């Protein structure tokens, strides 16, 4: 029945009519799958919730009265009950099934466990109940038509199983058996990682290669008992070497400084040694594989060491790349080894020219420190260079390095957006060691992707803001930008920005800023490489010297039900637009009148326009703030975009023409007009949107007049507003104002003691605190 508040607007009638509405099916299938819709959106808490109310369902379902042309066979018997245990965010599924039509035996299927159960457990115990709260209840039901039950639930014969399904089951069983064998034999195997020397030549960073790179390393699970000879044959076959080539294999090990370098060459003496002994204490055997001509000596001399060489060129763009390795005699000078290196095909011609002219600087790459200069007239032995060490040759800035493979040239980029100069190898290694990518998001749009910048961990707060200002473009002043770090509790921007005082006491490096969290017991990790930025109207240093008051200017007084647009009135006058801004006033002695004066100055509001300040919490006007009231030292500062439930609002304190005409010279009181969602008014306090103040005659006004005044304020069409209910809210009670001829009066001049609320559907998504960035997921059945 559609009656009372749910009357139907019928075509041809001016007034709403009582009506009956229903559905009949033309036909029904032999199998019915019924979803019980155990979830809904809670408008008070703004989340999806699970409904655990009791919902009974029969073992036999007669639907003959709901079919338009019934054949008399629309009687169904319950076949299965799908149960969900848990809440809307998480839980577990299991099912009760009665597989045979000829008996009433039920079975419970819970993952891989199947048990016999009785009918009461399968049906009655899954109706659900809110008191006591029962989190396990039926979520979906499956019925089969009674006259078709014997044919639908007949015993499954071998020929009834599709061939593809049978093959899939056999394949699954085979895969499970293979996994079981692997688990049983896992202790007999070990990981072996190979890296080819060719992979080193494309590396443009520190060390030989990034050892976590799947592209450069090939890992295999190999029996521990396999000999090195068998492994070498396996690798040779995998690399498909021709008859003139052979392998030279080096064992890699981790040094005390954390780098991984070759430590010894594996020779024929190791041919029959099992891999488990070659790996030493490490769980993984790491090998460097070199492809050399068969004519080359397989073993190195005892006084030879394997040295790797890199070249660094600052121009046209900084690049560091490995150019090869060389077996060097310990007693030979580094200068001699570099001259021998020039014979390799991988050496850029610009480097060969610079070496011939003696126009190079040489370093050893080490960690830590990153690099140290080398006297090339000294021998490897004198310098302590051994197998696996790396020598870096620096080209002068006047030499432009172009003769590199295209794959390497494409990787070059301007470091740090050009904000820092990288002129030497030392500068470049400092850059590689400290570079970090940080995302900067607009505080007004906290969930949207922002600007990604490459910075140094050692950058100061000022350097960080300067880099961001440069990225934001023309008109951006670094002194008028402040940053909000990541809050691990809310998973969004922290409510308070980075403070210069706190940074000065803790150190204002970017690394410190990213790890800052002032909550007791709080922590943060470098995974949270994100800041939210805010453009401010004052220099940053002024915020440390004055009191900050975050205030929202609403020229429309909050009457637009769509919410706070950034430009509610499209006009050239800034003061006729909504604006959230920070106002700075002196500590301790400032009043809210000082705040409004400063706000007028910032927005260009004419001085003759009076302004009032109101406090809004959870979409509810709490009070009108006296302008003579002192500003507290710690002001509640809602972060723009964080959608917190507090707002300090400033608005014109004048009557518009409509109110002036209606009120005349009579006395009036300000009444808060609230918004509530349909069906959530009885003590729920589920307010939403932007409340506003309406002047109401002291002696009271007719409900019909109030409704019309409110409708004009919110600018809603009559036919739509007719469906909106009006309530008087006093404390936790809500009284419907249905009689348009009745007179309603405020009863108290205190703002918030009595309010009016209009009940309607939200036009915009509900506000969420930033910590709940994601909307809650409904229950979902995974096939």
CATH topology for the 187-293 domain = Ubiquitin-like (UB roll) (3.10.20)
pLDDT higher than threshold 60 for residue 131: yes
* Domain spanning 31-155: CATH 3.90.70.10: yes
pLDDT higher than threshold 80 for residue 149: yes
Q: How far apart are CA 341 and CA 124, in angstroms?
A: 84
Domain covering 657-759: architecture: Roll (3.10)
Is residue 297 very low, low, confident or very high in pLDDT (cuts 50, 70, 90)? low
Higher pLDDT, 259 or 523: 259
pLDDT in tens, 362-380: 999 887 667 889 999 999 9
Q: Is omega for the bond preceding 369 within 30 degrees of 0, making it cis?
A: yes
Q: How far apart are CA 312 and CA 322, in angstroms?
A: 9
Mean pLDDT across 390-394 = 94
The CATH code for residues 304-413 is 3.10.20.90
Tell me the three state secondary structure of residue 322.
strand
- Percent of the chain whose pLDDT exceeds 90: 33
pLDDT higher than threshold 70 for residue 776: no
Output DSSP code: residue 376.
Answer: T
Q: How far apart are CA 20 and CA 229, in angstroms?
A: 88
Please give the structure tokens belonging to residue 465.
């803001």
Mean pLDDT across 471-498 = 86
Q: How far apart are CA 766 and CA 761, in angstroms?
A: 11
Mean pLDDT across 653-666 = 80
Q: How far apart are CA 313 and CA 646, in angstroms?
A: 56
Out of 200-214, 462-476, 538-552, which region has the weakest mean confidence (pLDDT)? Answer: 200-214
Q: How far apart are CA 718 and CA 721, in angstroms?
A: 5
Residue 211's Cα: distance from chain center in Å? 28
Q: How many CB atoms within 10 Å of residue 368? A: 7
138, containing H or E segment = strand 136-145
pLDDT higher than threshold 90 for residue 532: yes
Please give the structure tokens belonging to residue 717.
């069409």
Mean pLDDT (the chain) is 83
pLDDT at 685: 57
pLDDT at 214: 63
- Burial bucket for residue 688 (CB in 10 Å: 0-12, 13-18, 19+): buried
Strands (E), 361-498: 361-365, 371-373, 390-394, 435-442, 451-456, 481-484, 486-487, 492-493
pLDDT at 499: 82
DSSP codes, 519-574: STT----TT--EEEEEE-SS-GGGGGTSEEEEEEE-TTTT--TT---TTSS-SS-G
Is residue 627 very low, low, confident or very high in pLDDT (cuts 50, 70, 90)? very high
Q: How far apart are CA 599 and CA 593, in angstroms?
A: 10
pLDDT at 525: 42
pTM of the model: 0.63
Nearest to 425 by CA among 316, 313, 321: 313
11: Cβ contacts below 8 Å, ≥ 6 apart = none
Mean pLDDT across 117-139 = 86
Is residue 309 very low, low, confident or very high in pLDDT (cuts 50, 70, 90)? very high
Q: How far apart are CA 426 and CA 320, in angstroms?
A: 11
Q: Tell me phi and psi for residue 142, to 5 degrees.
A: -125, 120
- Using alpha carbons, list the distances in angstroms from residue 26 to 20, 30, 60, 530: 19, 14, 21, 58
Nearest to 380 by CA among 308, 312, 323: 308
Task: Report the largest interatomic distance among the alpha carbons of the chain, rounded to a whole angstrom.
Answer: 112
214: Cβ contacts below 8 Å, ≥ 6 apart = none
Strand 530-535 relative to strand 435-442: parallel, antiparallel, unpaired? parallel
Quote the Cα angle for 123-129-131, to 5°: 150
DSSP codes, 172-185: HHHHHHHHHHHHHH
**How crowded is the C-beta side of 634, counted as CA atoms within 13 Å?**
1
Quote the Cα angle for 310-311-314, to 5°: 145
Domain covering 433-542: architecture: Roll (3.10)
738: Cβ contacts below 8 Å, ≥ 6 apart = 703, 725
Instruction: Decide if 31-155 and 433-542 have a common fold.
Output: no
Q: Domain limits of the chain?
A: 31-155, 187-293, 304-413, 433-542, 546-652, 657-759
In DSSP terms, 80 is beta-bridged to: 97, 142
Report the top-level CATH class of 546-652: alpha beta
DSSP codes, 605-633: --TTS-EEEEEEETTEEEEEEPTTSBPPS
pLDDT higher than threshold 80 for residue 133: no
Nearest to 729 by CA among 667, 686, 696: 686
pLDDT in tens, 188-245: 888 888 888 888 888 888 888 887 766 677 888 888 889 988 988 888 888 777 777 7
pLDDT higher than threshold 60 for residue 640: no
Q: Is omega for the bond preceding 646 within 30 degrees of 0, making it cis?
A: no
Mean pLDDT across 117-135 = 85
Q: How far apart are CA 248 and CA 232, in angstroms?
A: 9
Q: How far apart are CA 616 and CA 599, in angstroms?
A: 18
- Using alpha carbons, list the distances in angstroms from residue 375 to 326, 334, 341, 372, 383: 18, 8, 17, 10, 8
Mean pLDDT across 630-641 = 62
Quick one: CA torsion of 537, 542, 543, 548, rounded to 10 degrees? -70
Residue 374's Cα: distance from chain center in Å? 47
373: Cβ contacts below 8 Å, ≥ 6 apart = 361, 362, 363
Q: How far apart are CA 149 and CA 161, in angstroms?
A: 19
Q: Is omega for the bond preceding 443 within 30 degrees of 0, making it cis?
A: no
pLDDT at 33: 94
Output DSSP code: residue 779.
Answer: P
Out of 296-300, 348-352, 406-410, 756-760, which region has the weakest mean confidence (pLDDT)? Answer: 296-300
pLDDT higher than threshold 80 for residue 301: no
């Amino acid at each position: 029945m559609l009656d009372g508040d749910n009357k139907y607007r019928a075509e041809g009638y001016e007034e709403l009519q009582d009506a009956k509405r229903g559905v009949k099916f033309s036909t029904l299938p032999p199998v019915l799958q019924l979803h019980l819709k155990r979830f809904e959106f809670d408008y008070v808490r703004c989340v999806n919730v699970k409904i655990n109310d009791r919902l009974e369902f029969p073992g036999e379902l007669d639907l003959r009265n709901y079919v338009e042309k019934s054949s008399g066979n629309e009687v169904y018997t319950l076949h299965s009950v799908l149960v969900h245990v848990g809440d809307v965010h998480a839980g577990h599924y299991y099912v009760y099934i009665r597989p045979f039509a000829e008996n009433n035996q039920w079975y419970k299927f819970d993952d891989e466990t199947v048990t016999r159960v009785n009918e009461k457990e399968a049906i009655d115990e899954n109706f659900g109940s809110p008191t006591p709260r029962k989190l396990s209840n039926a979520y979906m039901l499956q019925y089969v038509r009674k006259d078709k039950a014997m044919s639908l639930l007949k015993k499954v014969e071998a020929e009834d199983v599709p061939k593809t399904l049978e093959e899939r089951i056999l394949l699954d069983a085979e895969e499970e058996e293979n996994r079981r064998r692997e688990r049983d034999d896992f202790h007999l195997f070990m990981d072996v990682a190979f890296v080819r020397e060719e992979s080193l030549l494309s590396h443009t960073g520190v060390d030989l290669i990034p050892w976590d790179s799947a592209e450069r390393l090939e890992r295999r699970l190999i029996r521990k008992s396999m000999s090195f000879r068998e492994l070498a044959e396996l690798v040779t076959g995998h690399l498909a070497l021709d008859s003139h080539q052979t392998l030279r294999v080096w064992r890699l090990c981790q040094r005390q400084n954390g780098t991984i370098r070759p430590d010894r060459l594996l020779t024929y003496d190791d041919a029959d040694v099992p891999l488990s002994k070659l790996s030493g204490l490490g769980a993984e055997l790491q090998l460097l594989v070199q492809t050399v001509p068969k004519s080359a000596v397989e073993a190195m001399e005892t006084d030879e060491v394997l040295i790797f060489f890199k070249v660094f060129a600052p121009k046209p763009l900084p690049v560091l790349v490995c150019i090869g390795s060389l077996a060097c005699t310990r007693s030979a000078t580094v200068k001699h080894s570099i001259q021998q290196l020039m014979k390799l095909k991988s050496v850029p011609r610009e480097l060969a020219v610079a070496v011939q002219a003696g126009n190079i600087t040489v370093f050893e790459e080490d960690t830590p420190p990153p690099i140290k200069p080398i006297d090339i007239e000294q021998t490897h032995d004198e310098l302590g260079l051994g197998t696996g060490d790396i020598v870096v040759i620096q080209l002068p800035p006047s030499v432009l390095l172009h003769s590199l493979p295209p794959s390497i040239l494409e990787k070059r980029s301007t470091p740090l957006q050009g904000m820092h100069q990288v002129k030497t190898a030392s500068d470049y290694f400092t850059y590689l060691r400290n570079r970090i990518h940080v995302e900067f998001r607009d505080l007004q749009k906290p969930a949207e992707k922002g600007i990604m910048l490459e910075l140094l961990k050692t950058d100061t707060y000022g350097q960080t803001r300067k880099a961001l200002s440069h990225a934001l473009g023309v008109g951006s002043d670094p002194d008028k930008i402040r940053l909000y770090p990541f809050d691990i509790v809310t998973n969004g921007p922290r409510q308070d920005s980075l403070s210069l005082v706190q940074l000065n006491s803790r150190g204002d490096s970017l690394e410190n800023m990213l790890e800052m969290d002032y909550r007791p017991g709080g922590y943060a990790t470098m995974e949270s490489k994100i800041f939210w930025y805010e453009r401010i109207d004052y220099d940053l240093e002024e915020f440390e010297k004055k009191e900050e008051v975050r205030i929202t200017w609403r020229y429309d007084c909050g009457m637009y039900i769509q919410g706070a647009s950034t430009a509610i009135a499209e006009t050239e006058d800034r003061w006729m637009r909504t604006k959230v801004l920070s106002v700075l006033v002196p500590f301790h002695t400032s009043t809210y009148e000082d705040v409004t004066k400063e706000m007028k100055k910032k927005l260009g509001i004419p001085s003759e326009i009076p302004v009032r300040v109101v406090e809004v919490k959870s979409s509810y006007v709490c009070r009108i703030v006296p302008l003579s009231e002192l500003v507290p030292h710690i002001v509640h500062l809602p972060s723009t975009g964080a959608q917190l439930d507090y707002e300090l609002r400033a608005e014109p304190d004048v009557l518009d023409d409509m109110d002036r005409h209606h009120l005349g010279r009579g006395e009036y009181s300000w009444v808060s007009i609230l918004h509530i969602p349909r069906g959530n008014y009885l003590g729920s306090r589920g307010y939403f949107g932007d409340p506003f103040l309406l002047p109401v005659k002291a002696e009271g006004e007719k409900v019909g007049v109030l409704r019309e005044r409110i409708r004009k304020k919110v600018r809603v069409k009559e036919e739509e507003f007719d469906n909106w209910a009006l309530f008087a809210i006093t404390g936790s009670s809500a009284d419907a104002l249905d009689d348009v001829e009745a007179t309603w009066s405020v009863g108290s001049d205190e703002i918030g003691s009595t309010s009016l609320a209009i009940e309607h559907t939200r036009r915009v998504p509900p506000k969420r605190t930033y910590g709940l960035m994601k909307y809650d997921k409904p229950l979902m059945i995974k096939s």
